[in-house]
Chains A and B, each alone.
Chain A
Amino acid sequence: MRFREIITMAVISLGANKLRSALTMTGITIGVFSVISVMTAIGALQTSIESGISFLGSNIFQFAKYPANVNAGGRAQKKYENRHNISYRQALKYYELMEGNAREICLKSFDFKGQAVYNGMKTTPSLTVAGSNKSFLVANSYTLAYGRNINDEDVAFSRSVIVVGKAVEKRLFPHESPIGRTIKLNGHNFTIIGGMAEKGTAFGQSQDDICVIPITRFFENFGESNRTVNIATQSFSQELYNTTLDKGMGAMRIARGLRAEQENDFELYSNDSLKSAFESIAGVVRIGAFVISLIALVAAGIGIMNIMLVSVTERTKEIGIRKSIGARSRDILRQFLTEAVFISEAGGVLGIIFGVIGGDLLALWLKANLIFPFGWALAGLIVCSAIGIGFGFYPAYRAARLDPIDALRFE
């Protein structure tokens, strides 16, 4: 029998039970969708990262208490929690040691979320409030749009001055210039000295809901005891990056009071380390998506098998008729196998289409490049064929093996 003939037969039979075929297909679609959408989104993020989105400004490394990938869980988590915070004093020690060896040294504490109020208007209650110094803008890839930046004196005298992000400006000063105005930030007055240019969203979060105040003022108003300071350092050039990093490492160990045999009790962040942190998170998500879709696909495969067994029973008479006019066992086997593979493949194709659309929408939202994951799509189709054949074989075999006379007598 010809291939086209078999496909036609499969389409006709499946068309006779549209709802049932569609429902059976849905299982496969969901399984394929979950893996393809996740792989598309991760792939999109990855190409974006590789093609130049940097987590940090250029030539910058950063020291912090916690690693980027904190959800390590268990004992590892404990290890980080038991660490001492990086105190402002230690940070200042580092600053002292590194001064002159780096272009910028940004000390910052920004685990605090607040709300700014002006003239009855309010910002989001989860406004990021960063306590820092003059280097904050450069170290975090912000640019000053107007006014002036925080300077050393503001820090030295812990002045109540503030540089606001674009979102704050839009919310509180829709019609006037914010410069020189005094806003209330969680009950404390701050005078606006400058504003940052709009930065947009990254990984789904607005980067403009932010304001920066001198780190000394930050501690006075919001407390110092439970806070840890992050230190970002920018080398003078690309060439000096590694030397600066080595020096920074030494300075950090001195600032933390570590002896030679003690291991580092702080984490280094660089674009490289963040990339690999992303990789390891992506790896976990990938495995998760893989396992979930595998489970979904096995469930869907069992669904196909079930439906095909029902179908074989219902169509026993049809099988008898076909055999009585000359269908060979393998013609019947092929017919039912094709139906199973067809359901599976159709479900798979839909899953790939929806998965790519879903994954790319997510990528679009995260401002990443759009991609089509050819490898995964191909793998999806192959897996779907395997599922169709694997779970369809037994029902098809039962159909093929039916005795012509018994099948014909079946009512």
Chain B
Amino acid sequence: MLNTETMRPRGPIVIDIENITKHYVMGEETVHALRGVTLQIHRNEYLAIMGPSGSGKSTLMNMLGCLDTPSSGRYEFNGKDVSAMDDDELAAIRNREIGFVFQTFNLLPRATSLRNVELPLIYAGIDPVTRQERAAQTLRDVGLGERLLHKPNELSGGQRQRVAIARALVNNPSIILADEPTGNLDSKTGEEIMALLENLYQAGNTIILVTHEADIAHHARRTVHLRDGLIESDALSEATEIQTLAFT
């Protein structure tokens, strides 16, 4: 059987986690958010992490994005052991290698779109002129060329998410992590955002998408199902198979 994934050259491994666990101690009780997750993600993949609410999707995503640290297990990012990294190295990875897109956008409310998108470049130490040019160009790329000087409260939900995506993209990260990016949007706007992610994927970006909606997940080429902190299944998604059928 022919498969688009196999037709597309698989990139090197970006994310390699093995037996990752995460538990939270809350008084007497211990919540096991992740119970031992093993996963490899290659460059140029488009992966969806699915599962019911509370299954550990966000926990896993934050771990992959070096925002959170696992209770146990091994994590290598681009071949480097993340657990051995200090605060500065983690910050550098978040700044240069990872672009986060959140359900609630997480923009700075008092800053303009341009300023919000410039922020990662500021922390990367890029000079103001280059920075502004790149931020403006990235905003144009996501279709917000007319909204550079608007503040988040002057933008619609979809536009805010585009700003957030531009911010995630602006430093040319290795992967884009999107945690329920359409969760706060109506379905039409959600589809527009998904189309934008599809474009980014086609342009060669690596995308990891968290969602609990099958409609959203079918945009991805590979789907990992989580349940109670464990991987239940890891397979090429239906869309891919449909595409695959179309090719045969």
Contact = CB atoms under 8 A, between A and B. Distances in A.
A325 interface: yes
Nearest to B177: A324
* Interface residue SS majority, chain A: helix
B68 to A, nearest CB: 5
Contacts of B100: 324-325
B29 to A, nearest CB: 19
Given A404-B67, A405-B62, A325 B108 contact: no
B87 A328 contact: yes
B233 interface: no
Contact of B91 (A12, A318, A326, A405): A326
A138 interface: no
Given A1-B125, A405-B62, A324 B67 contact: yes
Nearest to A2: B125
Interface in A1-44: 1-2, 5, 12, 16
Contacts of A404: 67-68, 94
A404 B98 CA distance: 14
Contact of B123 (A12, A317, A325): A325
A327 B106 CA distance: 15
Interface residues of B, number: 26
A328 B108 contact: no
Nearest to B171: A326
B151 to A, nearest CB: 12
B175 to A, nearest CB: 14
Contacts of A327: 91, 95, 123
Interface in A290-344: 317-318, 320-329, 331
B122 interface: yes
Interface in A174-188: none
B132 to A, nearest CB: 13
Nearest to A320: B106
B109 to A, nearest CB: 8
A2 B121 CA distance: 12
A408 interface: yes
Contact of A405 (B67, B88, B95, B123): B67
Given A325-B95, A328-B87, A329-B87, A408 B124 contact: no
28 contacts: A12-B110, A12-B111, A16-B110, A317-B106, A318-B108, A320-B106, A321-B106, A322-B119, A323-B67, A323-B94, A324-B94, A325-B100, A325-B120, A325-B123, A325-B167, A326-B91, A326-B96, A326-B123, A326-B171, A327-B95, A328-B88, A329-B87, A329-B88, A329-B91, A331-B123, A404-B67, A404-B68, A405-B62
Interface of A: 1-2, 5, 12, 16, 317-318, 320-329, 331, 404-405, 408
Interface of B: 62, 65, 67-68, 87-88, 91-92, 94-96, 100, 102, 106-108, 110-111, 119-120, 122-125, 167, 171
